Chains A and B, each alone.
Chain A
Amino acid sequence: MKVAASDWFLLSPELFLTAAGLLILSIAVFVEKAKEEFLGFLTLIATVITIGLVALLSGYHGRGAPILAGMFVLDNFAIFFKLLMLISIALTVLASIQFVGRAPYPAGEYYALLLFAGVGMLFMVSGNNLVSIYVALELMALSSYILAGYFKGEIKSTEAALKYFVLGAFSSGVLLYGISLVYGIGGRMGLPELAKLFETQEKSNLLIVGILFILAGLLFKIAAVPFHVWTPDVYEGSPTPVTAFFSVGPKLAAYAILARIFYVAFAKFHSDWGLIVALVSAATMVLGNVAALLQTNVKRMLAYSSIAHAGYALMGVLGFRTEFGLWGILVYLLAYTFMNFGVFALVVFLETKGYAAEAVSDFNGLARRNMTAAVVMLVFLLSLAGIPPTAGFIGKYYLFTSAMKAGYAWLAVLAVLMSAVSLFYYFRIAAAMFFAEGEGVPLKSSYALTAAVLICAAATVLVGVVPQPFVEMLRACVIQAP
């Protein structure tokens, strides 16, 4: 295979990020523990430059430029996800600087792994071939396993890493098995080629089994029921900035390839997998919300909440046959990234202040100790519950319309009722912050963390109040029907 000159150009964000990761890994050897903040800022700069590179490329491609003979593709869809994921990495770095600085473990590895996971994610959303998608996914997953166990001296962190690894490896196996079945029947790996093949070919049971295996593998990554059991443990045990990252970054990538694979390659067989996705979506939102109601640990509660949100997002995947296409899920993920990261960033904030941030009571009286933090947290909680005028409402609105339009009215009814239920546990935190008495010492946040939280809050409010420019931009990011 010949590598064209333009390929190097189109891959520049990924290449740059890889180089930056390696560079940070090697500089880290010479940086003293006390000056590790410097590495964080370096990572941040590298991420921002990569964002710039992706933004530059957004003007270049036409309707999707093939890279490396069609192994990858750079279309608006990929660019949207790349930007959003890079922003989530930048936010993670901001939220990590103080947190990692206090931990007795080398920071260089942490930042480098974060960037490598980022590289994997960037490749994933561009993946246009089952093999390239799989390889990119493994790069992301392996880096994530290590990140989960970054606090290697702590049992919970190690347990999280091990659980994540064992179940993750298993799910990768399932995914790979599905890919092999599809390859065995179709004889090709490229998504557009598969779509072309299926145009003329009748479905076989074996093919459906293969498709379902691929679906199962991906559902694991987005933590949908019944493949969700790893989530609460991993989210609870991982260092909280990593949890914040897990709840958005890798999930975004997984949604992106789920949408792309099923939209581009398997659209014809939607009658076979559509109902399954709908049922999984229903089960996920019910179980996620009900389980979250029962949690007393904040991180576990938020873990179940993000499971519930995976259920909502799956409605957007169902919507692909409507005139909206994947518009709904894009709008929703934009909102989800900021609000969910914001919530976890505030948990990080409390942890850097010496709270375990385990029990809801750690939030007690936050309104008196740091009003801004409490109000911002309230905005995120309202947004997660889908109350207007926040980004979460706009996102959910698009998902509900997708489900209604796709003919799943029952799913939409279930989803709205579940989002009313979710308010109950989100507002346990709100009640703790505003109603309960707490110790009276004011809490101050570090600049980096404040920046991360305020960026999330600004985005959450802005998308909610003036959604037009964002939704219009995202309309252009929907994959064009093959």
Chain B
Amino acid sequence: MELMGISIPILSIVTYIPLVGALAIVFLFPKERTGAIKTVATIVALVDLLVSLPLWFLFERGREGYQFVEKVSWIPSLGADYQFGIDGISLLLVLLTTLMGVIAVACSYTAISERQKEYYVLLLLLQTFMIGTFCALDLFLFYVFWEVMLVPMYFLIGVWGSDRRLYAAIKFFLYTLAGSVLMLLGIIALYFYNTTGFLGYKGLGQPPTFSIEKLTAVAAGMPAELQIWLFFAFFFGFAIKVPMFPFHTWLPDAHTEAPTAGSVILAAVLLKMGTYGFVRFSLPMFPEAINTPWVRGVVVALSIIGIVYGAMVTLVQKDMKRLIAYSSVSHLGFVMLGVFALNMAGLQGGILQMINHGISTGALFLLVGMAYERRHTRMISEYGGLARQMPIYATYFLVMALSSMGLPLLNGFIGEFAILQGAFAVSFWWAFFAAIGIVLGAAYLLWLYQRVFFGEITNPANANLADLTGREQLTLVPLVVLALWIGIYPRPMFEVLRLPAEKIVAAVGGKTVPSPALTRKSAAEEGESTLSRDAP
């Protein structure tokens, strides 16, 4: 970014403000001064949000490629650079992350009562690593952020989680690590394909690089067989993070055991790393693999199973947090289905739904956390009739539940509609199963709402619950505003996403036409005309 002739590395600043804040807390504040630590953590997160906001305004919608690019040589021996930059997709995710950072800090004031210094330090560190992952334009750098992010999350779950936290923490770490080390091999293979070749594949003999832009072009030109191998190497890394069925089993445990802020961050940002990976890497890098019918079939089948199976499992949950956790499996299945529809509507919808899921599910976890703070239980059967006692709480919960189930005028509707449209353009059955997921989604959320909020107060423990405090409402208001904004006027979002999505669709669809009954071209036009130009 240029300001008065001086170039400002704004992405690095946004990325490292939390890190600096964390170090300041470590070295300047003794652990007894919890009040001061909270204040500093909040200020740091707020400053980070404020510094990231100009990105939204300065971002040039009509410009192709990455913006705010920074590049410094890092490990020339390997060809790895310190390279940052964002396009429309990462712009939205960075902003979501900085917003969630503030909310995560603010929702922890009363929920976290011990080892507070470590807690806020870890939360801020996590923030830095997440933003870094979205900004990195160098695969090596990306991988570093991607992996190191697991460490603070592990401790957040392990120290401040509930009963089965040890199990959940190590399961989370091992699952995601196992996936990402396979991705590392994929990265190495890609690197060698670009340089000197490996395993009988003749390399291109180009200078070593990890630049995502360059390697994307290189990867897209690989023979189909190698693309399929590498697609699956990356696939494990991303699919476990998403998480797709059948790699999802870490998610309910991690979500349920994590402290509220941990669940919020996990749902809102961490899961997006997986879908972001598919959009940023898998699609443009391995178009031939993706256009191979069985490969795409596997991914789509797993997405659809995730949607339906996830929703059905959600229905029978007794624990509120676990319920919302399983609903994530279903929602992320939607995102994956949209992305793998490989047309404009599906892809834009999928990306927007990533943001939407962050907003609604993040808010739902916040809300469950607020109930938990009051009652120290998450069991649905313990509640009932809360609407009388906590009307404000009930309202927020309703708005967010409706947003999550995709009611018109709220954000979820826009995303799901676009995804359905994209899926329908490919196959009736894809859209059919996705629609079943939506119906089931309405069922489990409304049923949850009914059990928790309606009826008489049967449990005396609920009789004197205090309604939301001002601070609690403050953490929710931005999410409600965003949900309404995206629901009513999503056009700015689609504008930001259009160019990168077009580029990705072109990259995937530019090849020979693949699987049966695919009318991608018309679907792409249709998606664009309804969504980008004439958006409501």
Contact = CB atoms under 8 A, between A and B. Distances in A.
Contacts of B158: 431, 434-435
Given A388-B143, A388-B147, A407 B198 contact: yes
A404 B192 contact: yes
A169 B347 CA distance: 67
A405 B151 contact: no
Given A401-B188, A468-B76, A434 B151 contact: no
A47 B185 CA distance: 40
Contacts of B148: 387-389
A31 interface: no
Interface stretch (A157-165, A408-416, A444-452): A408-416
Interface string A391-407: 00100010011001101
Interface stretch (A130-138, A265-273, A418-426): A418-426
A192 interface: no
Nearest to A385: B177
A404 B184 contact: no
B74 A424 contact: no
A355 interface: no
Contacts of A382: 151
A420 B178 contact: yes
Contacts of A388: 143-144, 147-148
A33 interface: no
A404 B196 CA distance: 12
A472 to B, nearest CB: 5
A387 B191 CA distance: 20
A424 B170 CA distance: 7
A202 interface: no
Most chain A Cβ neighbours within 10 Å, of B166, B174, B188: B188
Contacts of B143: 388
B159 A435 contact: yes
B172 to A, nearest CB: 11
Interface residues of A, number: 32
A417 interface: yes
B166 A431 contact: yes
B199 A400 contact: no
Nearest to B184: A416
A387 B151 contact: yes
Contact of B177 (A400, A423, A435): A423
B77 interface: yes
Contacts of B166: 431, 435
Interface of A is mostly: helix
Contacts of A397: 184, 188
A446 to B, nearest CB: 24
A70 interface: no
Given A427-B173, A431-B166, A434-B159, A416 B199 contact: no
A404 B159 contact: no
A115 to B, nearest CB: 35
Contacts of A424: 170, 174
B517 interface: no
Interface string B162-203: 000110011001100110011011001101100010111000
B28 interface: no
A390 to B, nearest CB: 9
A395 to B, nearest CB: 13
B184 A400 contact: yes
B198 A419 contact: no
B383 to A, nearest CB: 30
A419 B76 contact: no
Contacts of B189: 404
Contacts of A101: none
A471 interface: yes
A388 B76 CA distance: 18
B122 to A, nearest CB: 10
B75 interface: yes
A311 to B, nearest CB: 15
B150 interface: yes
B281 interface: no
A433 to B, nearest CB: 11
A455 to B, nearest CB: 21
Contacts of B191: 401
B120 interface: no
Contacts of B78: 471
Contact of A472 (B77, B151, B155, B198): B77
A423 B150 CA distance: 12
Given A387-B150, A471-B77, A419 B181 contact: yes
B159 A323 contact: no
A468 B159 contact: no
Most chain A Cβ neighbours within 10 Å, of B76, B169, B198: B198
A386 to B, nearest CB: 8
Contacts of B165: 435
Given A434-B159, A467-B75, A407 B199 contact: yes
Given A389-B144, A401-B188, A468 B181 contact: no
Nearest to B154: A427
A61 interface: no
A13 to B, nearest CB: 29
A416 B182 contact: yes
Contact of A475 (B77, B151, B173): B77
Contacts of B196: 323, 405
A468 B75 contact: yes
Nearest to B178: A420
Interface string A436-469: 0000000000000000000000000000000110
9 contacts: A386-B181, A393-B144, A393-B147, A400-B188, A404-B199, A409-B199, A412-B188, A431-B166, A435-B166
Given A404-B188, A404-B198, A417-B182, 7 more contacts: A367-B118, A387-B147, A409-B198, A424-B170, A431-B169, A434-B159, A468-B76
Interface of B: 74-78, 118, 143-144, 147-148, 150-151, 154-155, 158-159, 165-166, 169-170, 173-174, 177-178, 181-182, 184-185, 188-189, 191-192, 196, 198-200
Interface of A: 323, 367, 382, 386-389, 393, 397, 400-401, 404-405, 407, 409, 412-413, 416-417, 419-420, 423-424, 427, 431, 434-435, 467-468, 471-472, 475
